[in-house]
Structure 1
Amino acid sequence: MKLKNFIHNSLIAGLLICPLLFAGCTNSVGPNDKPNDNIKVVTDLTGTDVSMKKEINRIAIVPIPWTSIVYAVDGSDKKIVGIHPSAKKSYEASIFKTLAPDLENVNSSFVDNNFNVNFEEVAKLKPDVVIIWDYQPEVAKKLKELGIPAVSIKYGTLEDIQNGIRLLGKILDKPEQAEALISYHKDSEAYFKQKNASALPNKPKVLYLQNKNLTVAGNKSVNQLMITMTGGENAAKDTKGSWTKVSMEEIMTWNPDIIILSNFDSITPDDIYQDKLEGQNWSNIKAVKNHRVYKAPMGIYRWDAPNVETPLMMKWMGQLIQPDTFNDYILRDDLKQFYNTFYHYSLTDSEINTILNISINNTPTF
């Protein structure tokens, strides 16, 4: 009888303990479960539900542009504990350093230039959440094993940026700021669609050059979309992919009217005008003959890539490519207003000149 009672009681205890054990081993909350008061569930851009602390105070960021986007949504750099080394390089060369001085000493060694995560280093940062790329499921799995929530983002289109901003609003509990930024982006898209510059009869050929190695924006790049929406034609429109290395001969055949130089490389208009690049001859290209080679602007991040300031990049491109069509705004005023509204920072004329690369580009009209 005693043995029977012992077995009976043991079974009941086991049934009571098992759910507790399983609950302690998962980092997600089921649809019928009542979430802990200190836990929230956020659905990332791959559709994965991720459980994390309700109040996020420490965030590590693998994707390069997302450091600046976290800052824009949160209105502060205080929660950022780790960033990509390329994001740090961009920070050092931009006005972001003025707006977010505390990032000067932020960790940028927990991830390498190829987005490989050092899990020992990231654990030392004690992040409440880590932002990763959507193509890094193994990283998410490993972080989960370490008890660190990871949210995945998609990147490459204007819509991806808006969806990512909304996701950050949920993570950082800043939905109003996130929606305000999204509205700004959507209003910009509507403006450019209404202009319908892609239908203009005379569209200059625009070459978007990423680096000295002749890597150009191809037909899958968001840069092609921005060129089209601002009244140009991508000189490399028949080049497959987002960023593709081409030859000088191909560029000479395209003979672009305008060349835009990326901030992912130190290349300048002067390098092109004076043929400083070994093995390259730019002297017979229309854009060079007409002095229409421009370094892209750089705000709190490189304007080349989709980012929180992309609407401003498109306004810059519009007045560069089709000034007669895009003549109903003053870019400098819009830039000031954006920084005042979203960063609570008043730009000086000198800072605007630096952002727009006025001196390098010799474009005093901006």
Structure 2
Amino acid sequence: MRFSLSLASMCRTTATKAHKASLLLCCTLGLGFAPSFTPALARNVTDMSGTVVNVPDTPTAIADLWFAHNEILVMLGAAAKIKVTAENPKDSPWLFKVAPVLLSARTGVRPESANPEDLLARKIDLVFVPQRATAETLRHASLPTLDAHYATLPDMLRSLDMTAQALGTPEAHNTAHLYRSQMEHMLALLQSRTAPLPATARPRVLHIARLNPLQIDGTNTLIDSWITAAGGQNAATVSGNHKPTTFEQIAAWNPDLIILGATAGLPAQDAPLRSLPAFAKGHWAVNPQGVFSWDRYGCEELLQLEWAAKLFHPTLFTDLNLPHDVKAFYRTFFHYTLNDDDTARILAARPPAP
């Protein structure tokens, strides 16, 4: 069985820009076409914290202050509208290669350091942030601001739909619909193949976010969601992202498999971590990173699920062609063509070639 993104190749070569949004619909896995969409004259959008926010009919200048959310805006066709971003070319080179228009934006603005007066001076008419408190602060400064944060796969899709509604374009709406269809298809595939597995056949996976200081990702996180969906178990018993820990605690958890975040680095050859059975047996991997880190909170979560499933259960998913599907994903959702070297670099968490 070929992962559904391969269907994108059926409709990639004859599109003009005017037809891109409609062509996306031909790849919806036979799940039906997107419902008709008519932009409203004014939009009240409910954000992820449940706050109803009035947003402009057609936002033209966006500040995206959540790292993970920038690639979602790019996917939904709003790259040119991003005038202020938390991202920067050094940390996210694939993002700026896929969407070079971001080079003209003000980069590196984090939510905790955003200056409302500066945003107003830049005529920002829509802001995305990852915290409710920050959203409230910016709204008090008369900036329409949406809390886009999520920690589960269902909430990710809800945040995606919220973003498309805020953008108010047919392209954003149709792309969000297509992405939801692809995600639901992938989750159903993983569930159908891993459901019969007993707990003893589900590897206990530890995800290391940073090595110095040593931090792991625990339960109640998106990392925990994809570990579980791909047929694994989170070896960590603490809750939350980037939780400080010790080698002794990791040794007590004794994970079957260790995944290092793309930016975590590698442990030194004489580091205590190397003495763990998972490292000694070669049961460890570095997570891929493309436009954003696959393992965290961006839209490449769809590829992360496939990568993790093949890593956890290689014999169950031999039919999934990950390099092919990476190319199809970028072509379909980012309108960007990867070559073989590009794909290999993304899978190895390496930056674009010079």
Runs of 4+ with deviation above 6 angstroms? none
164, 168, 174: which is aligned to 1:169? 164
Quick check: 1:301 aligned with 2:299? no
Question: What is the alpha-carbon distance in structure 2 between the residues aligned to residue 120 and residue 110 of structure 1?
Answer: 13
Question: What is the alpha-carbon distance in structure 2 between the residues aligned to residue 317 and residue 188 of structure 1?
Answer: 12
Say if 1:121 and 1:185 are closer, same or farther in 2 by CA, change over 3 A: same
Aligned to 1:190: 188
Quick check: 1:135 aligned with 2:132? yes
* Structure 2 residue runs without a partner (length 5+): 1-39
Q: How far does residue 103 in structure 1 lie from its aligned partner after superposition?
A: 1.4
Quick check: 1:79 aligned with 2:59? no
Q: Which moved more, 1:51-60 or 1:348-357?
A: 51-60
Q: Which has the larger radius of gyration?
A: 1
Quick check: 1:341 aligned with 2:344? no
Secondary structure class of the residue paired with 2:67 = coil
Aligned to 1:210: 209
Aligned to 1:313: 304
Secondary structure class of the residue paired with 1:103 = helix
Q: How far does residue 162 in structure 1 lie from its aligned partner after superposition?
A: 0.6
Question: What is the alpha-carbon distance in structure 2 between the residues aligned to residue 283 and residue 152 of structure 1?
Answer: 40
Give the partner amino acid of 1:72.
M
* Structure 1 residue runs without a partner (length 5+): 1-36, 361-366
- TM-score, normalisation: structure 1: 0.77
Give the partner amino acid of 1:59.
I
Secondary structure class of the residue paired with 2:201 = coil
54, 59, 71: which is aligned to 2:57? 54
Task: Give runs of aligned pairs for residues 1-366 of structure 1, distance below 5 A.
Answer: 39-74=42-77, 76-84=78-86, 87-88=87-88, 92-111=91-110, 115-136=112-133, 139-172=134-167, 173=169, 174-196=172-194, 199-200=197-198, 201-212=200-211, 213-236=213-236, 238-263=237-262, 265-268=263-266, 271-272=267-268, 274-275=269-270, 280-357=271-348
Tell me, yes or no, if the aligned pair for 1:257 and 1:292 is still in contact at 8 Å.
yes
Q: How far does residue 99 in structure 1 lie from its aligned partner after superposition?
A: 0.9
Count of aligned residue pairs for this structure pair: 307
Q: How far does residue 82 in structure 1 lie from its aligned partner after superposition?
A: 1.0
Q: How far does residue 198 in structure 1 lie from its aligned partner after superposition?
A: 7.5
Question: What is the alpha-carbon distance in structure 2 between the residues aligned to residue 234 and residue 146 of structure 1?
Answer: 41
- TM-score, normalisation: structure 2: 0.79
Which has the higher relative contact order, 1 or 2, with Cα contacts under 8 A spaced 6 or more apart?
2
Question: What is the alpha-carbon distance in structure 2 between the residues aligned to residue 46 and residue 233 of structure 1?
Answer: 28
Question: What is the alpha-carbon distance in structure 2 between the residues aligned to residue 49 and residue 240 of structure 1?
Answer: 29
Question: What is the alpha-carbon distance in structure 2 between the residues aligned to residue 160 and residue 187 of structure 1?
Answer: 16
Question: What is the alpha-carbon distance in structure 2 between the residues aligned to residue 321 and residue 50 of structure 1?
Answer: 42
Question: What is the alpha-carbon distance in structure 2 between the residues aligned to residue 282 and residue 297 of structure 1?
Answer: 21
Question: What is the alpha-carbon distance in structure 1 between the residues aligned to residue 57 and residue 227 of structure 2?
Answer: 41
Tell me, yes or no, if the aligned pair for 1:197 and 1:230 is still in contact at 8 Å.
no
Tell me, yes or no, if the aligned pair for 2:92 and 2:292 is still in contact at 8 Å.
no
Give the partner amino acid of 1:53.
P
Question: What is the alpha-carbon distance in structure 1 between the residues aligned to residue 140 and residue 233 of structure 2?
Answer: 48
Question: What is the alpha-carbon distance in structure 1 between the residues aligned to residue 51 and residue 239 of structure 2?
Answer: 31
Question: What is the alpha-carbon distance in structure 2 between the residues aligned to residue 178 and residue 335 of structure 1?
Answer: 18
